[in-house]
Structure 1
Amino acid sequence: MATNLSAAPQPQLTVPQFKESVLKHLHSTLGTYEEKASQQAWNQAIAAAINEFVYDGVSRTRKTHAGKGTRAVHYLSLEFLMGRLMSNNLQNLGLYEIADAAMTDLGQSLSDILEEEPDMALGNGGLGRLAACFIDSMATLSLPAIGYGIHYEHGLFRQEFYKGRQVERPDEWREFGSSWEICRPESQQTVKLYGYVETVYEQGQSRKVWRPSRTLRAIPWDIPIVGYGGQNVNILRLWESRADKFFDWDVFNSGGYLDAYAESVQAETVSKVLYPNDETEAGKELRLIQQYFFSAASIADVMRRYKSAHGNDLSKFAELNAMQLNDTHPAIAIPELMRILVDEEGFTWHDAWTMTRATFAYTNHTLLPEALERWPLKLIEKVLPRHMEIIFEINSRFLQDEVEAKWPGDDAVKRKLSIIEEGSAQMVRMGNLSAVGSHTVNGVAQIHSELVKKDLFPELNALWPTKFTNVTNGITPRRWMKACNPRLSSLIEKHVDADWPRYLEKLSGLKALADDAAFQKDYMAVKQANKEDFVKVIRELTGIEVSADAIFDVQIKRLHEYKRQHLNLLHIMALYRRLLIDPNYDLHPRVFIFGAKAAPGYRLAKEIIFAINKVAEKINNDVRINNKLKVVFLPNYRVSLAEKLIPASDVSEQISLAGKEASGTGNMKLALNGAITIGTMDGANIEIAEEAGTDNVVIFGMEVDDVEALLAKGYQPADYYRSNDELKAVLDWLDGDFFTPGEPGLLSEVKRNLIESDSFMVLADFEAYSEAQKKIDTLYRDKKAWARAAIMNTASLAKFNSDRSIQDYAENIWHIKAVPAKS
């Protein structure tokens, strides 16, 4: 029974007080009244009531940190996939039950009102959601911290399907404003672009001066990040791009009505959309400008606050400021800080470089060559001429002073380690720049961090054996169980201390109940209720009828070849074929659920989505298989949809090719909520299996060494196609019109890719995957064994708390300490 109830966030209002606050804002802030108010108005009134606590917390936290000469961390990320904030803020403030009761008294449904809030879709997938979890944990741990990103107008995109194909639509997440953000025009910055570099001679000394031909205004919007318990409220600062000159009156008055706004429109494009398509030269240029825009504005902001507190003496800048590069997107921040220190503050190169390296740390999120950013040298030279000079100087000194000392005369090593990649067109390797310019480089799971050292940067690891480390990713249990799975949270709180969302290791107390029949019954009743709720969501979003008694088999992540959604598809087709051959084929009813967006320019990924949708359409309407198989592709997968699906999931598909997934965080969310992982020995799957026990996950397929051996031998996917009759049959299906009546060959591109190249060895792992799926089917039929495995997953995931991840960063990389806000 719970013994430490006082550790949970304590309500700061009674139900009548909360009602009074909401009604006050409904009347005086929004100018409406109970009988007329829309659901959106109620949502805004509740947000305003919550913000009375939130902004008081912001003030207290900022005042506390301003009075301390402590080191702070600045987390630079191009993505922050925040989702919705109201439920999370209510939970972290201990006000959720109060608000629920208050709205019931007012004749309203809090759950319905929560649906009015649009997702802050400021990210693409795991990278952005990880950043959101991390800033939640920084606030919860009372760390002096601020997140920096871009205030995208449209986020990624809203996904629709038309005749099975993905269609991208604008994501108007703040069409009517956002209740959670506040503009801080007093902290705006100026960002320079283009132009030329001039050498100026003063008093016998020369220095470089960048003469930009264009400037942008960076306008900061702050989103408060409420820590669990509400004591600390940090901020996420997002930069909006605006023209330095908003409107040209002379042009307007002379009849150029549209031209008068041209500069404004061009400037606003920078913060318009997350990840503009970079298939064109203009798209590449815009993405580079985006990365520099938010990096430069953020460094200027850090510098402004440092000087405000400490004056113009920058000798303690690196001592008091840590900057974390979340992947290579903010890597241009390294030469930007060098530019400021050398060109504007007068530091020698040696001292500036020492400070810069002491300031930055770099998180690597991928081993995929195409994801390690490389920018055309000529493009950087055009957009950021001074930075290109600085990158050349960084590279020259690095190769001469450090690489030459380690490997004298070895030009092959120099070519590999050079920040500049030679070729028909010179490229700037942002991964190399990030590693060279940082004091610490970390991977995000044990196996990934080892592969970073072994395969990605082996020479750099030899050069700096203490620079490379691991910080396994984590998720915040506040959002990913307490808020999204209230039934399971309530059950857990009957058996462990109420502060488990802060100290996730307390869930280990559930292990003693894993074989308890009564607890198993209660636990599985929660899962069944969540599934019944999600049946309604599926019907509402897709019109497809599914049964909550079926296995809910879930693959939710970005659509990418290495994540192998097409392996899942081939197995679905194989099951379908077995049922057609033998209507009595023994298969527990299964619902395969996909959620994924493909990058607009990623043709094959979009073809895989199309193939899944066309196969689903055929299967879902085939009465011959008696509803034993259903396939659902949920449109516009996002955080708020994940919060409904994850508690209802039975099986977690984590089937990337071994050595390709850095970590994954969806695997952690699903396992924490009691889904059984079917996965390869890749990313954090390995650590989940270690923590939960190999009996409580289903592992299949090649491991990293097997993949490397097969590649060395020469992988021939066509051999697998020819040698496996079932595999050949389902692939051949894609050439005909069975799934696309009257239009043969529409799905052939997926087959052709798999047989001719199969870069991620789908066919090599198909047979092992099919056998693993049979194990899932067998285990699910043993209700006690399945319940035990699910409970053990929930009880064993403490390691994957983002609080633990951030504590690792704080102690081992950032060297910062907690500074709790004063009451």
Structure 2
Amino acid sequence: MLNEDLLAGDRRSGATHADDRQTFRVPPAPAVPPSEDAVTLLRDAILNKLAYALGRTPATARDRDWFAATALALRDRVVDACLASPAPAVPNKRVYYLSAEFLIGRLLSDMMGNLGLADTARAALAQLGVDLDAVAGAEPDAALGNGGLGRLAACFMESLASLAIPAYGYGIRYDHGLFRQLIEDGVQREVPETWLAEGNPWEFERPEAACSVGFGGEVAMTVQPDGSIRRVWRPAETVRAVPHDTTVLGWRAKHVNVLRLWQARAEEPVDLGRFNGGDHVGAVAERSRAEAISRVLYPSDSTPAGHELRLRQEFFFTSASLQDLVRRHVAERGDLRSLPDHAAIQLNDTHPAIAVPELMRLLVDEHGLSWEDAWHVTTHTLAYTNHTLLPEALETWPVELMERLLPRHMQIIYLINWMHLESLSKHGRVDAGSLAAVSLIDETHGKRVRMGHLAFLGARRVNGVSALHTELMRQTVFAPLHALDTDKIVNKTNGITFRRWLHNANPGLTRLAVEAVGARVLDDPGALDGLAAFAEDAGFQARYAAVRRGRKEALARVVKERTGIRLDPGALFDVQIKRIHEYKRQLLNILETVALYQAILAEPHRDWPARVKIFAGKAAPSYHQAKLIIRLASDVAKRVNADPAVAGRLTVAFVPNYSVSLAEAIIPAADLSEQISTAGLEASGTGNMKLALNGALTIGTLDGANIEIKEHVGDDNIFIFGLDAAGVQATKAEPGYAARAIAASPRLKAALDLIASGGFSPGEPDRFRPLLDEVTGPDRYLLTVDFDDYWRAQRAVDAAWRRPHGWWRAAILNTARTAWFSSDRTMREYAEDIWRVRVGPGA
């Protein structure tokens, strides 16, 4: 079934970078080679687009031009299929997924794979003397996310389409996504990511569906003919939200959904009076202010202006999305009281939590519903996914800022809060402390609106993203609210789309799986379980290891080009790739690296297995500790890699500008997956799932989805260390735990001393003093306490690596037993338990 909205429009009566190109791998070819006619048709379509859409000839076309022409030709295939399909009925219910991030990366591989045209495209381009890998590598990454949150949203959108669940994704079309990371002498430097520099061939602009989003102003009261009071918000500023639609194609092209991203534009592009008066810069000031909203993903909020811009971004896309879906519902169904029957709105984290008062405003102020009816519609339509237990990541906004920027919404929030607290008082809950804990307004350090609490109250369901995370939500951040409604919080463990992270990212392993257990693995992730029967087979192990070797050789070429560092493909590739944050504990990994370096120097004749430590990830521009961690990793790499005493035994590489495409190069080449966050702080993780699916063994704490991975792959096929969440809390209650742990670990003390003495920063011994002060002082993330057990687990990895038969058996079992972590399974659970929407054609 094809989404009936793709071609309907409104129902009202990027430059690429050379160092990114080599990371692409096409999906596995179909069992039947493409016909000559199919190849010829696609070849001619590509030439047509090259000439008439881009104005190029084959002689003058660059790789980027060939990519755009190929993308446009494939996009036409989706449109043709929609036009050829019988006009479908309006779906009974749609899912609307609101997320500030959609880390979709490159789309050509998804489009070719889901259309079944990868082999056809390769042959068509080959006839033109063009290499598909070079063409695909010319596509810029759509870096519209910071990490797991945005990549999860992208995986969910692909699974929704593959399951034929009618859905819209709603977000922001950032001109510049997450910054491009340069590493200069170990220091991160941020430069703009220019993914739209040469346009985006995948999208359709929909100016006819634009809407206005207001800010500031005042709220007036008017008396209605029936004597009732109506409040009217009169914004001081309005910004135009223009949608750009990207098709989200499901597996085997059976269904298409839409990702609608909003671009901010000024209502008037220029003030002609000021311009003609000579104030040429001031004449476009309002335009610059408006368009700043969709300019950059996550602008720094370290200044008041940056803080306000973050709130403007969140309200902008949330309001535009709600206006859009409300307008669609009215056109199709009429009465907004039936919205919960035909729409499910999922809030991905607290960024769109302002949807609660905005939906109430639209229903009450714009469409005349009573407060009671509007609250029923809101609380039966919205659902909220929580992604963090970190207090600093649970958004709150100053009441003063909210009142100035969104005055009507602040009135609605106050009324929601008053009714909420009043109902508790009527039931005898009058203790001031208890009421303060569940209030939407936090008054402990100035008045602030608790957006997590707001989303909780306004949602029918609130879900965590792993079993541990969900239970900790009930026990910690939402404990007071959970006590009031013990059925509201449910668990929905995250998942990943196997089409992207196995079929496309690792075609060799996919072909091996198809040969072993049949082509059904392409349609049913559960069929991967059949690989377990081959785990002990020496011949199959050899083929599995050969696939890994090929990907390691490819990754070594990428790393050499980006960093100049040579990697030994025969070494164990030990990988930690994720956003740089203290709780993710890249620093623990670096400390173990330093200790291993010292141990090799102290015992040079010991049989140390060759190991390559690979780091990648970005630090937020204002997060100085995270930036220091990157510099330490780079400085450690510089000394270790230059020391002939450890040559061939230990190599360290920090690979810059982590992205979806770089992940697609690293993950299939990884032998060891570092998932070492402080227990109780990682909500779920999805990198752990991608790496395990591709056969990397996990070394990790009992945190997030690591626990469920352990349950599925088995205790013998994972390396677990460190305190669990309960142990972390107990240890934090004991004063002086860091000092005791360091005193009890000469190995850890020696590593810390080497860093403190300037061993990796000659001439500047205090360079890493802020990191050392944190570790040796409060040590909030318990690196010192977990270090020795981490060292033990790493030496267990060494021992396992020396036994190839056992290692490859465990790797194969990881691939076989991670089918449960498919985002298809996750979406089915959301559909059944949260959205109450049917899966499949006719939904």
TM-score normalised by the shorter chain: which range applies? over 0.9
The aligned amino acid for 1:357 is T
In the other structure, the counterpart of 1:475 is 496
**Inter-partner Cα distance in structure 1 for 2:168 and 2:644:** 55
Q: Distance in 2 between matches of 1:449 and 1:9?
A: 47
C-alpha distance after superposition, 1:232-255 (max 9, x if no partner): 111100000011111111111111
Tell me which amino acid in the other structure corresponds to 2:790: Y
How big is each residue's C-alpha offset from its partner over 1:524-552, in whole Å with a ceiling of 9 and x where there is no partner? 11001110111101100100011001110
Deviates more, 1:244-253 or 1:55-64: 55-64
Q: Partner of 2:21 in structure 1? A: none
Q: Does 1:559 align with 2:580?
A: yes
Change over 3 Å in CA distance of 1:51–1:412 after alignment to 2: same
In the superposition, relative to structure 1, how do residues 162 and 561 fare at CA in structure 2: closer, same or farther (>3 Å)? same
Residue 680 of structure 1 pairs with residue 706 of structure 2: no
Match of residue 454 from structure 2: 433
Change over 3 Å in CA distance of 1:726–1:420 after alignment to 2: same
Distance 1:247 1:768, change over 3 A: same
2:779 to 734, 751, 758: 758
Shift of 1:20: 1.9
For residue 247 of structure 2, the aligned residue among 224, 227, 252 is 224
Query: Unpaired segments of 5 or more residues in structure 2?
Result: 1-28
Tell me the equivalent position of 1:354.
376
The aligned residue for residue 792 of structure 1 is 813
TM-superposed deviation, 1:310: 2.1
1:587-614 Cα shifts (integer Å, max 9, x gaps) = 1111100111011111111111111111
Q: Which of 303, 321, 344 is matched with 1:298 structurally?
A: 321
- 1:24 matched to 2:48? The reply is yes
User: Counterpart of 1:783?
Assistant: 804
Q: How far is 1:803 from its partner?
A: 0.4
Question: Is contact 1:141-1:818 (8 Å) kept?
Answer: yes
Residue in structure 1 matched with residue 360 of structure 2 by the alignment? 338
Preserved contact between residue 641 and residue 647 of structure 2 (Cα < 8 Å): no
* Unmatched segments (≥5 aa) in structure 1: none
Once the two structures are TM-superposed, the CA of residue 408 in structure 1 deviates from its matched residue by 2.3
Contact 2:106 2:139 in 1 (8 A): yes
- Secondary structure at 2:481 match in 1: helix
Using a 3 Å threshold, how does the CA distance of structure 1 residues 410 and 7 change in structure 2: closer, same or farther?
farther
Using a 3 Å threshold, how does the CA distance of structure 1 residues 487 and 278 change in structure 2: closer, same or farther?
Answer: same
Shift of 1:108: 1.4
8 Å contact from structure 2 (residues 384, 456) kept in 1: yes
Amino acid at match of 2:116: G
Q: Which amino acid aligns with 2:270?
A: F
User: In 2, distance between residues paired with 1:792 and 1:181?
Assistant: 40
Shift in CA distance, 677/263, structure 1 to aligned 2, threshold 3 Å: same
Letter in 2 for 1:31: G
Q: SS of the residue aligned with 1:36?
A: coil
Query: In the TM superposition, what is the alpha-carbon distance from 1:693 to its structure 2 partner?
Result: 0.8
Q: C-alpha distance in 1, partners of 2:85/2:408?
A: 37
- Superposition deviation, residue 12 in structure 1: 12
SS, match of residue 613 in structure 2: strand
Of 794, 809, 815, which aligns to 2:836?
815
Among 257, 263, 267, which residue is 1:234 paired with? 257
- 1:501-650 correspondence to structure 2 within 5 Å: 501-650=522-671
Displacement after TM superposition at 1:211 (Å)? 1.2
Match of 1:260 in 2: 283
Change (3 A) 1:446 1:485: same
Q: Aligned AA for 1:389?
A: Q
C-alpha distance in structure 1 between counterparts of 2:184 and 2:171, whole Å: 33
Distance in 2 between residues matched to 1:645 and 1:63, nearest whole Å: 43
The separation in 2 between residues aligned to 1:54 and 1:544, in whole angstroms, is 43
Structure 2 CA distance, aligned partners of 1:194 and 1:29? 42
> Are the aligned partners of 1:8 and 1:94 in contact in 2 as well (CA < 8 Å)?
no
TM-score (norm 2): 0.94
Deviates more, 1:420-429 or 1:631-640: 420-429
Instruction: Tell me if 1:273 matches 2:296.
Output: yes
Of the three residues 124, 130, 143, the one matched with 2:152 is 130
3-state SS, counterpart of residue 642 of structure 1: helix
Indicate the percent of aligned positions where both proteins have the same amino acid.
Answer: 47
* Distance (Å, rounded) in 1 between the aligned partners of 2:586 and 2:194: 28
Q: Which of 76, 82, 85 does residue 52 from structure 1 map onto?
A: 76
Q: How many Å separate the matches in 1 of 2:813 and 2:691?
A: 13
Cα distance in 1 for partners of 2:684, 2:372 equals: 36
Residues 503, 510 of structure 2: 8 Å contact kept? yes
Partner residue in 2 for 1:109: 131
Is the 2:239–2:290 Cα contact (8 Å) retained in structure 1?
A: yes
Letter of the aligned partner of 1:644 in structure 2? A
Q: Which moved more, 1:46-55 or 1:359-368?
A: 46-55
RMSD value, Cα: 1.8
Shift of 1:509: 0.6
1:57 to 1:11, Cα distance in 2 relative to 1, 3 A = farther
Question: Partners in 1 of 2:634 and 2:233 — Cα distance?
Answer: 53
Task: Assess if the C-alpha contact under 8 Å between 1:58 and 1:232 holds in 2.
Answer: no
Describe the SS at the equivalent of 1:220: strand
Equivalent pairs counted in the alignment come to 814
Rounded to whole Å, the distance in 1 between the matches of 2:31 and 2:554 is: 31
Contact 2:738 2:777 in 1 (8 A): yes
Match of 1:182 in 2: 204
CA positional deviation for 1:59: 5.7
Shift of 1:185: 0.4
TM-fit CA distance, 1:147: 0.2
Q: 2:238 & 2:448 partners in 1: Cα distance?
A: 25
Whether the 8 Å CA contact 1:10–1:93 is kept in 2: the answer is: no
Give the Cα separation in 2 of the matches to 1:758 and 1:147.
40
Alpha-carbon distance between aligned partners in 2 of 1:563 and 1:248, rounded to the nearest angstrom: 49
Q: 1-side partners of 2:33 and 2:620: how far apart?
A: 40
1:385-439 per-position Cα deviation (integer Å, ceiling 9, x unaligned): 00001001111111111x3355522221111111100134101100100101101
Contact 1:10 1:94 in 2 (8 A): no
2:61 is matched with: 37
Check 1:400–1:61 CA distance in 2 against 1; reply closer, same or farther (3 A cut): farther
- The structural deviation recorded for 1:202 is 2.4
User: 1:132 and 1:780 mapped to 2: Cα distance?
Assistant: 34
From 329, 345, 352, the equivalent of 1:323 is 345
Equivalent residue, structure 1, for 2:26: none
Q: For each residue in 1:411-469, what CA deviation from the matched residue of structure 2 results, as whole angstroms up to 9, or x when unmatched?
A: 21111111100134101100100101101000001111111112221222222121110
With 769-778 and 738-747 compared, the bigger mean Cα shift is at 738-747
- Cα deviation, residue 585, structure 1: 3.2
**What is the SS of the residue equivalent to 1:198?**
strand
Which residue in 2 is equivalent to 1:444?
465
